[in-house]
Structure 1
Amino acid sequence: MSPQRAARLTAALDPRAAARRAWEAVPAAGQLAVAATAAYCVAHFALGRAVPLLAITVCLSSLGFVRDARPRRVLETAFGLSVGVALAEVVLVVAGRGVAQILIALFVTLLVARALQAPPAIAVAATAQSAIVLLLQLPAGGTWARSVDGLVGGGMALLATALLPRDPRHAAQRDADVVFAGLRRAIDDLARAFRTADPGAAASSLATLRALQPAQSDWTTTVDSAVAIARISPLLHGRLDELRGQRRLVDGIDLAVRSLRTIARRAEATLADGRPRPELAQLVSVIGQVSGLLGRSVREPGAAALARRDLVLVAERLDPRVLTPGASVSDAMITVLVRPIVVDLAVAAGDDAAAVRSRLPVLG
């Protein structure tokens, strides 16, 4: 067994990690359970279905135990599943029940789902719903009763998204913590590389920055989902500005990480001469301190103002002739590469890009 697989297995069997995962899943589990039960009640008590299986399965599949809970994704999933149910009903009406009919219905459902540009997972889920229709006995409500049940399940999923939203802020904060912790490690390694002339530390910084991409993608998805839900949910609408601010933070950190990767690559080559660069180490350390303030701002919005203040002070000194007088072209270029990072972080903190650029010294 590889070390990576062993580590994943150990993490999966860790009781504390399992308890933490279960606790973090409570909001989603509660939403799914309430919505599916409500879909059952509507179909059973209001519409008279004895066993409204599809109302429950479509509702659960539409909401899903997924990070991306945007209303659009829920709607697309509910529509795709309802199409699968309806196609199976059509096959039953036209050709009856049998093995050949199952083959035709499954094949056609897959093709229609892909023609409608449904993601592969939704296409397969729609086909599974189609199979359920073909295998179960006709309900008391008639041929199209199961299509109605599917619509009930999809509609209840949409209602739950708006009226029983999973509070996305906690998930977004957890994702942000992962990103900022990795960013801090990378910046510390990069500062140490310049301070001690260690190309290995620069390589370690670059590896950490590259490894941040999945965590950044998770954070982006969570925040996008949160913004989309807050637009339609009366319970979260008051948090919309806060969530939009975090979306701005996501974009700024993403751009800053890209620029830091460029600096880390250049540093690895530049430091091969074995000469320490304490001025560059200090500059990178300041960027790390500002990043720490931005990380705090996810929970403490006031920290963003401190970050903006510090970034303006840094921007005013970002002239290679001032920071590293007499430096080589390669060293001066690293200082120049920090300039867009400062602008991106300032925008992430809520500042205006043009205003920050105006504080940068003119190069020439």
Structure 2
Amino acid sequence: MATQRRMLQSLAPAPAMTLRDRFVAVRHRWRTLLRLAAATSAAYAVSTHVLGHEQAFFAPIAAVIVLLAGAGLRQRLLVELIVGVALGVLIGELLILAIGRGVWQLGLVVVLTAAIVHFSGLAGLARTQAVNSAVLLATVIPAPGADNPALTRFLDALVGGVCGLAMILLLPRNATRDIAVEVRPLLEQLQRVLHGVAQALRDGDPARADDALDLARGLQGQVNTAINTAENVAEVASMSPVRWHQRREVARYAAVLGDIDNAIRDARVLARRVGTLLRLGESCSEQMHRSIELLADGVHLFEAGLDDSATQAEAQEELVEAVRLALESLTGQLTVNRAAVAAQVRSLAADVLFASGMTRDELDVRLDF
């Protein structure tokens, strides 16, 4: 009864974010907010008070671009930012000197700059910033007595980019915590999927299997987000001396995430096969029900023991037992769907066992019944 109640609770829809949840989410972003404030202020101060630029608007803009860049891009972004700005100001300045500023001149500057940049082979941020630089040069009239706008714009981009990187190094995100926050909910959702599949088998209800399949399919967005986070925190752990001690732990979580992705894909196939099996009126033994329940319990223990080797060993035993029961359930009349369900139990268990640190050789020995 307790197991069935837990299954029903696990299949309940996830609650929507409350106002309090949103405040908590913002509070957890305090490092990002502090980095943004410090980097933009520092970039503007350096460009204005140290370099003497009177219109140093692009320095804080460049800092924001680097700080909010996607995973694994910041080091490359600084180079692309500077290259794009340099090319844009060069082309824009030459064109403005030749044709002046105005409505039609702006259109011509943008078109010619975009064409030249495309011809040069630049892409991504470099292309965007080249065109943006040309637009700003064509529309923003320099203050009287201001320095060469091309040079000041280039220096502002450099200052802003360096300030953004400095804040990443000095105030880095907690790499281990941030990747753990992404990985653990995925494992909890995987448990919900498996409990739903087990309940479908127990009740002979293909609709429950379909619900579990829908839940598993909906996890792909979370998986992609977690993968992006893993790339981001790996970059932070490699760049910031403050987080160097977390590099090994971050690498472990990243490896676990790849196996979890595979396990969720296997869960989708498992749910689909169980739904097909039930719609065709095929039956499975009590051992198969119990096998998938043990699979869910093994995932739960694995999630609970991510930082505890003893619990990981317990999780491994549960997963191995789940595979044994699934294979033993194939005695008697064998159908394609029953064989496929047992095969998916083994595949999913193998993915989680890999994540727990078991090698392929160990896996073959433990699962060779």
TM over 0.5: yes
1:241 deviation in Å?
A: 0.7
Give 2:108's match in structure 1, choosing from 104, 110, 113: 104
Where does 1:173-184 land on structure 2 (aligned, <5 Å)? 173-184=180-191
* Distance in 1, Cα, partners of 2:75 & 2:246: 19
How far does the alpha carbon of each residue in 1:159-181 deviate from its partner, in whole angstroms, 9 at most, with x for none?
A: 33333323344432332243223
How far does the alpha carbon of each residue in 1:74-124 deviate from its partner, in whole angstroms, 9 at most, with x for none?
A: 4366346524445434433454323333213323444526942316xx755
Give 2:27's match in structure 1, choosing from 23, 28, 32: 23
Q: Given that residues 318 and 361 in structure 1 are in contact (C-alpha distance below 8 angstroms), is that contact kept between their aligned partners in structure 2?
A: no
Unaligned runs of 5+ in 2: 1-14
Letter in 2 for 1:279: Q
Q: Which residue of 2 aligns with 1:343?
A: 350
Q: Which residue of 1 aligns with 2:81?
A: 78
Say which is worse superposed, 18-27 or 85-94, in terms of deviation: 85-94
Q: Which residue of 2 aligns with 1:4?
A: none
Change (3 A) 1:355 1:103: same
Q: Which residue of 1 aligns with 2:298?
A: 290
* Distance in 1, Cα, partners of 2:315 & 2:288: 20
Q: Which residue of 1 aligns with 2:147?
A: 141
2:131 maps to 1:132? no
2:329 maps to 1:326? no
* Distance in 1, Cα, partners of 2:168 & 2:97: 34
2:241 maps to 1:237? no
Give 1:36's match in structure 2, choosing from 35, 40, 52: 40
Letter in 2 for 1:357: D
Q: Given that residues 295 and 318 in structure 2 are in contact (C-alpha distance below 8 angstroms), is that contact kept between their aligned partners in structure 1?
A: no
* Distance in 2, Cα, partners of 1:130 & 1:62: 20
Q: Which residue of 2 aligns with 1:5?
A: none
Q: Which residue of 1 aligns with 2:9?
A: none
Q: Given that residues 301 and 311 in structure 2 are in contact (C-alpha distance below 8 angstroms), is that contact kept between their aligned partners in structure 1?
A: yes
Change (3 A) 1:164 1:256: same
Letter in 1 for 2:304: R
* Distance in 1, Cα, partners of 2:173 & 2:235: 12
1:213 deviation in Å?
A: 0.5
* Distance in 1, Cα, partners of 2:52 & 2:368: 74
* Distance in 2, Cα, partners of 1:188 & 1:305: 22
1:328 deviation in Å?
A: 2.0
Letter in 1 for 2:148: G
Q: Given that residues 68 and 222 in structure 1 are in contact (C-alpha distance below 8 angstroms), is that contact kept between their aligned partners in structure 2?
A: yes
Q: Which residue of 2 aligns with 1:197?
A: 204
Unaligned runs of 5+ in 1: 1-9
Where does 1:349-360 land on structure 2 (aligned, <5 Å)? 349-360=356-367
Q: Given that residues 343 and 357 in structure 1 are in contact (C-alpha distance below 8 angstroms), is that contact kept between their aligned partners in structure 2?
A: no
2:193 maps to 1:186? yes
* Distance in 1, Cα, partners of 2:16 & 2:350: 39
Q: Given that residues 40 and 60 in structure 2 are in contact (C-alpha distance below 8 angstroms), is that contact kept between their aligned partners in structure 1?
A: yes
2:362 maps to 1:361? no
Q: TM-score with structure 2 length normalisation?
A: 0.83
* Distance in 1, Cα, partners of 2:308 & 2:79: 36
How far does the alpha carbon of each residue in 1:268-311 deviate from its partner, in whole angstroms, 9 at most, with x for none?
A: 11112163542112111111112123333456676444433443
Secondary structure in structure 2 of the residue aligned to 1:186: helix
Q: Given that residues 72 and 231 in structure 2 are in contact (C-alpha distance below 8 angstroms), is that contact kept between their aligned partners in structure 1?
A: no
Q: Given that residues 290 and 322 in structure 2 are in contact (C-alpha distance below 8 angstroms), is that contact kept between their aligned partners in structure 1?
A: no
Letter in 1 for 2:122: L
Say which is worse superposed, 302-311 or 338-347, in terms of deviation: 302-311
Say which is worse superposed, 76-85 or 167-176, in terms of deviation: 76-85
Letter in 2 for 1:141: D
Q: Given that residues 62 and 77 in structure 1 are in contact (C-alpha distance below 8 angstroms), is that contact kept between their aligned partners in structure 2?
A: no
Q: Which residue of 2 aligns with 1:278?
A: 286
Letter in 2 for 1:191: A
Letter in 2 for 1:337: Q
Letter in 1 for 2:142: L
